[in-house]
Chain A
Amino acid sequence: MSEKSSDKSTTNNDISTATFETFETAWCPGCGDHIILTCLKRALTELGKNPHDVLIVAGIGQAAKTPQYISANAFCGLHGRALPAAVAAKIANEDLTVVVNSGDGDSYGEGGNHFIHNIRRNVDIAHFVHDNQIYGLTKGQASPTSQTGHVTGVQVNGNINIPLNPMLLALAMGAGFVARGFTGDPEQLVALMKQAILFKGYALLDILQPCVSFNKINTFTDYKSRVTPLPDNYDRSDLNLALKTAQIFDDKIPTGILYSVEKPTYHAQQAALADGKSLVKRPFKLSAVKNVMEKLV
């Protein structure tokens, strides 16, 4: 199978597909999304995942096309609504590796409420936000992370809103895994993706992803000059350090795992999931339902 096939059908139907294939994308040449897709494939492969046990979930946007371009189970839902679908899929079938790939607008804007509350839920999924600080698919309006002053077709006098800080918000909400990557450092990105997937609980990885077509401010060169990998001796279990680090987003942007501490997951706490077997694989309990009805006599 060639690296890029224009026809998803050949592999989608191929019974023997045990590797992650990619398909021809509709992304602009030079877009950071290409790197994210390649890194995602590498991370999943290096973790030894079977594509049939992987579910990629997205909302709508350029980033959200990711599930279309990789041979795995795919759920392309509604704009902003990737997280609810993803967590429920994981709740129903915990044997799946569930990864959300979606944009900054999708994840933090339209889906902002789900972002906040799924941190609290702590379902074991990985959330990769392709953060290009812009709405790509709708051709360049401000996103929640767009920097102040950014002039767009809508923000004609420059964006006047305070940019949303996803790292700080996630930490404040109690997220167990908070990390930032950059498409200009694929080695680091693959490592971050793997750790996010392995992390037990909700794992947020915000990925700086240059949009070559609609974000002329936060370019590859701009990010490249600002990103600063966290030092090897950085203490990922120190929440105060993480909160401090998360506030840095200026001429320096720290990348790496800002915080990683596992807490009880949704599955560990939800009584109905206690016996550890996937809901979808459990037999129907007729006698339990009978008992319920008998109580109403």
Chain B
Amino acid sequence: MALNILIGGAAGQGIDTTAAILEQLLKHAGYYVYATRDFMSRVRGGHNFILIRFGPDRITSHSDRIDCLVALNEESVQLHASQLADKGFILCDSSIPTDDSRAIHIEMTNTAKDLGNPRVFGSVAIGALLRLLSLDLVHIAETLKRHVPSSALDLNITAAEQGYDMVAPRLSEPAGDYRHYLTVSGNQALALGALASDVRFYAAYPMSPSTGIMEFLAEHGKDCDIVVEQAEDEIAAINMALGASFTGVRAMTGTSGGGFCLMVEALGLSGIAEIPLVVCDVQRPGPGTGLPTRTEQSDLRFVISAAQGEFPRMVIALRDQQDAYEQTIRAFRLAERYRIPVIILSDQYLADTTSTVEPFMLTKSAAEREANDNQDLADTTPKTSAFDNGYRNYQLTEDGITPRVYPGHPNYFAAADSDEHDELGHITESPEVRHQMMNKRMRKLDKLKTELQEPRLIGSPKCKTLLLGWGSLMGPLEEAIALLEKDHPGQVSALVFGDIFPLPVGQLQALAPQAKRLVHVEQNATGQLASLIRESTGISCHSGILKYDGRQLSGEEIVSRLKGEIIHE
């Protein structure tokens, strides 16, 4: 079981802060908390809301059915009252006109005014909500401390206390034991993974929904020895990341689809010059400017083929916060091991969703360099046998992987070349060398393919209907399977891809023949995963559940669409 709070209001009303405080308080109370954000691309006005779902057990999806509607304006009542459960309530200011019998009017604005600061009305609401949820005020001071300026702390505490006294308990939910877990968004988890990987340089140009990564790294740049550079454009950002990576530091850039468009030529530079690179594309709906603050999974076909020519690359789709952390670490490793670009595909839903997660594993090993890339600039003794006869930047090797040296090495020169080159990095147009170098680079994929991670199977391998999804739909699919278990036990399972290019096909090929129906579930209009699967395996899906209105499918929505389309056939 879980309860669901919706906080709705206009941009500029501070619902983000109110939600962040509530999330923290709920986690302190022991709950598992899962909060999704629905924001318009504007700074004032419009309608924004945040859904905070909490309960004693793990939660992996948002839900559109709500128990508590905290309406900071009239519009929020009008738009969301229909989603309210019968036992639910609307908490709003006394000035908001509504004859809904579930409405609880309290003096938010006037109380705040009387306290001398109209901006503390959010704290009045928080206090009241805690009481309505049968919770106490034990953690209010330490939580508010993190979110409001110290000069306004006492006032906010008083506001919360007054709000608390205005109402009586209504709902109660058993708590779990998640007090010591983290509260992180997908963007933060990704940035944490980069920090754990010893990233030293991050260049980017602001673009929703990727900017949070840059902001998080910048906040900790000084303490963690990271330079975060806001580039003049995305072309600069990726070329900067390559320049930094060339010198031997771990470097990264991040953007959304539009910025990725500008980066593609340099993606190929990483490929031919064999400079390790991690690029993150936090997807939003396109084309063009699209829906800047909303979600979609429509860049898959683009990023797997972006840039002219052919070169090895890897694309990893992030499925949840845990994945965001771990796969970012793995992305740095693989980029370095194979000297290739690794693209991390996230999306707005994951990027902006905060979830309770177990503290991430943090050890020195994530920061350790790959064997082919491990060197001390002051150390003159060659580390690998590849150096025995002198160093060659692009030496032809059996697996295609050549050890790197960094500029400043006392014995050897580092060379990067975007022209086709020989083993020394010297420009060449020899057909033989071209052939050798193309083969060398593409050969790296053979070894990379042995390291691919198979998709996660949710449910029984012996299912009638197998759902195929990728990335951030994992959570909603997990909830959908759990919901379906009740009425259709063992009938529906899901396979959710994280590694997506090259596509790991083993598990799919094993399961597909047994399933009666294959249904792809994707946040795009054309079924990009389905087409990639068809191309890689010859396996075709029977139907698809697609959504491309900028809003993520919930577990419940997947179930209802699945029932409509398939189960009742």
Interface residues of A (CB under 8 A from B): 8-9, 12-15, 51-53, 55, 57, 60, 65, 67-68, 71-78, 81, 83-89, 91-93, 95-96, 113-114, 116-117, 270-274, 279-282, 284-286, 288-293, 296-297
Answer whether residue B441 sits at the interface, using C-beta atoms and an 8 A cutoff: no
Residue of A nearest to B325 (CB): A293
Answer whether residue B224 sits at the interface, using C-beta atoms and an 8 A cutoff: yes
Are the CB atoms of A271 and B240 closer together than 8 Å? no
Residue of A nearest to B376 (CB): A281
| Contact code string B170-191 (vs A, CB < 8 Å = 1, else 0) | 0000000000111110001000
Are the CB atoms of A76 and B419 closer together than 8 Å? yes
CB distance from B225 to the nearest CB of A (A): 5
A289 contacts which chain B residues (CB < 8 A)?
192, 195-196, 224, 362
CB distance from A147 to the nearest CB of B (A): 28
Provide the bound-state CA to CA distance between A78 and B240, in Å.
Answer: 12
Answer whether residue B359 sits at the interface, using C-beta atoms and an 8 A cutoff: yes
Are the CB atoms of A77 and B418 closer together than 8 Å? yes
Segment among B73-81, B230-238, B293-301 that sits at the interface with chain A = B230-238
Provide the bound-state CA to CA distance between A70 and B416, in Å.
Answer: 14
CB distance from A266 to the nearest CB of B (A): 9
Provide the bound-state CA to CA distance between A119 and B265, in Å.
Answer: 24
B residues 394-436 in Cβ contact with A at 8 Å: 406-419, 423-427
Are the CB atoms of A270 and B425 closer together than 8 Å? no
Say yes or no: A89-B407 contact (C-beta < 8 A), given A65-B427, A293-B359, A297-B181: yes
Say yes or no: A280-B416 contact (C-beta < 8 A), given A84-B240, A285-B223: no
A290 contacts which chain B residues (CB < 8 A)?
362
Interface residues of B (CB under 8 A from A): 180-184, 188, 192, 195-196, 198, 200-201, 203, 220-229, 231-233, 235-237, 239-244, 246-249, 251, 265-266, 269, 273, 359-360, 362-364, 367, 377, 389-392, 406-419, 423-427
Residue of B nearest to A95 (CB): B408
Partner of A78, one of B198, B269, B413: B269
Provide the bound-state CA to CA distance between A259 and B411, in Å.
Answer: 38
Provide the bound-state CA to CA distance between A57 and B416, in Å.
Answer: 9
Provide the bound-state CA to CA distance between A270 and B218, in Å.
Answer: 11
Are the CB atoms of B359 and A297 closer together than 8 Å? yes
Are the CB atoms of A74 and B232 closer together than 8 Å? no
Partner of B413, one of A12, A65, A89: A12
Provide the bound-state CA to CA distance between A290 and B362, in Å.
Answer: 7
Partner of B192, one of A73, A117, A270, A292: A292
A67 contacts which chain B residues (CB < 8 A)?
415
Are the CB atoms of B240 and A85 closer together than 8 Å? yes
Are the CB atoms of A60 and B418 closer together than 8 Å? yes
Provide the bound-state CA to CA distance between A239 and B416, in Å.
Answer: 38
Partner of A77, one of B242, B406, B414: B242
Are the CB atoms of A91 and B416 closer together than 8 Å? no
Are the CB atoms of B251 and A88 closer together than 8 Å? yes
Are the CB atoms of A77 and B239 closer together than 8 Å? yes
Residue of B nearest to A281 (CB): B377
Are the CB atoms of A85 and B377 closer together than 8 Å? no
Say yes or no: A292-B195 contact (C-beta < 8 A), given A77-B242, A81-B235, A286-B362: yes
Provide the bound-state CA to CA distance between A135 and B183, in Å.
Answer: 55
A13 contacts which chain B residues (CB < 8 A)?
389-392, 412, 424
